Structure 1
Amino acid sequence: MAYSDGRAAAGFDRVARGDLGYSPRQVEKFMERARAYLEDSSAPPVTSREVRTVSFDAVRGGFDASEVDAALDRLEDAFARRERDELITESGEEAWLREIGQLAGILRGRLVRSDGERFRRPSSAKAPSYSTDDVDAFCVRLLDYLEHGSPMSADEVRTAVFRTVTGDEGYEETQVDAFLDRVVELMAAID
């Protein structure tokens, strides 16, 4: 179903017919599942981690990826708040603080490593990787956030961009991305 202004039933604009966007069928199916759980906790559960890691196929004329991603960010934050509140209700604030403290400790352990030593290098000399300088500078900011409460938002982490370099001149992208996912998890649980 589409609206007269060209938006799909899920409320997202479609990209031009020849451009790539997210699969409308997959997006609508996931959003329906998430909405059902948000409205009724007895529905099949959806977690903030699941929202953060969901991916959709690229199809011609699909949903605008930036609109869907922005909606997913808001949805992830809502589920993270819900998970925090449920943990506090079920186990008390001390349990939540312990969980947050554990995750912060794990993250801090990597952040305090020396520049150039925070993440592994790609296994292939020709593989694209993230600039160590860019990632290390971002990690210094993250450490300042954790240790001194410097302003930083989960959206800044979600949208961080690093220059691409080749092979062992940079950090392995998948490891950096997985680490940043955990940072977002922590920030969403705190805020």
Structure 2
Amino acid sequence: MAGPPLAGGSDAQRIDHIRRTFQVRRFGSGYDPRQVDQLFEDILVSLAGRGPLPVNPAELETIQFELVSGGYFEAEVDAALKEVKDLLMRRS
């Protein structure tokens, strides 16, 4: 997946790295990869100065994604959102 240039320094690089590590479930359901990927893409666009943050960082841990067959492992995404929240809160 091509993404925006990683302006914003190491935080953007860390968030980009996080989003590339999500694993798709082979069996069962998980978070919809399209929704998760879009959120992370929107966050990176914001860090590059090309748009607003898609959500208030304080709300990142409460975002809900649809469950789909072959989705991302929920625990991985939830842990990533907590880390992204912490990174974004430090910036403000």
Structure 1 length as normaliser, TM-score?
0.35
Q: Whose Rg is larger? A: 1
Contact residue 51 and residue 72 of structure 1 kept, 8 A: yes
**Residues 95-174 of structure 1 mapped to structure 2, 5 A cutoff:** none
Identical-pair percentage: 37
User: After superposition, what is the alpha-carbon deviation per residue over 1:117-140, rounded to whole angstroms, capped at 9, x for unaligned?
Assistant: xxxxxxxxxxxxxxxxxxxxxxxx
**Runs of 4+ displaced beyond 3 Å:** none
- Within 2, Cα distance between the matches of 1:55 and 1:15? 18
Structure that is richer in helix per residue: 1
Return 5+ residue gaps in structure 2 as ranges. Answer: 2-18
**2:33 corresponds to 1:24:** yes
**2:52 corresponds to 1:50:** no
Offset at 1:24? 0.4
Across the aligned residues of Structure 1 and Structure 2, the Cα RMSD in angstroms comes to 1.7
Q: How many residues align?
A: 73
Specify the code of the residue in structure 2 equivalent to 1:14: V
Find the residue that maps to 2:64 and give its secondary structure: coil
Return 5+ residue gaps in structure 1 as ranges. Answer: 2-9, 84-191
- Within 1, Cα distance between the matches of 2:79 and 2:45? 19
The higher-RCO structure (CA 8 Å, 6+ apart) is 2
Contact residue 30 and residue 68 of structure 2 kept, 8 A: yes
Offset at 1:38? 2.4
